[in-house]
A and B are shown apart, each in its own frame.
Chain A
């Protein structure tokens, strides 16, 4: 049974560019959450998608947006990249709000 799959694993972008990260949830999970983990810090909640809608959002600017598809997979889009957006981006899937499974993350470096 595949867990949460994220792609790509690593990415290098230039300031001002846009990036799309992808996540396939664990089988049986219908909810996807995205987290940003800066170096040396704990993960910070970006938003959660359920039934193809953004259900809850953390304290992130509108440059961060997302989408959930009918097969429950999800994308995270970040526009106008800043150096401070460099981080590990984690996707977590669940079928309730106390059983989260995390992927291995996408390491984004903005230069």
Chain B
């Protein structure tokens, strides 16, 4: 079974600064990778996903992530954050013949003016 490690539980960042959220998964088999955002008292919204192809994936709201198979990583980046990016971010993984998403514990991003 896959496991997901989000290396930072909390990331404080100033507005307009860049941010990187780190995610590693456990297996080198073929995987699908996802980043979700959760605003307070809400469900999960998909930011981006990697299924195959280009290792650089662009998502909504200016986010992008890079898949690195050799390091089993899928780090999320944004070059310039806004106050509205304050939220919980979850990395998730699934396998082509599996039906569940395995989530990391989440990273809380707090953007300060």
Chain B interface (Cβ < 8 Å from any Cβ of A): 4, 32, 34, 36, 41-46, 49, 51, 90, 92, 94, 96, 98-106
Contact = CB atoms under 8 A, between A and B. Distances in A.
Contact of A97 (B4, B46, B92, B99): B99
Contact of B99 (A4, A48, A102): A48
Contact of A45 (B46, B51, B100): B100
B43 A105 contact: yes
A90 B104 CA distance: 16
A102 B104 contact: no
Interface in A26-63: 31, 33, 35, 40-45, 48, 50, 55-56, 58
Most chain B beta-carbon neighbours within 10 Å: one of A45, A48, A58: A45
Contact of B43 (A33, A55, A102): A102
Contacts of B41: 107
A31 B94 CA distance: 16
A103 interface: yes
Nearest to B36: A102
A100 B46 contact: yes
User: Interface extent on A, as a size class?
Assistant: 20 to 34
A33 B44 CA distance: 13
A67 B15 CA distance: 45
A27 B60 CA distance: 22
A97 B96 contact: yes
A102 B32 contact: no
B51 A43 contact: no
Nearest to B32: A98
B74 to A, nearest CB: 14
Interface in A1-45: 4, 6, 31, 33, 35, 40-45
8 contacts: A43-B101, A45-B102, A56-B99, A90-B44, A92-B44, A97-B94, A100-B46, A105-B43
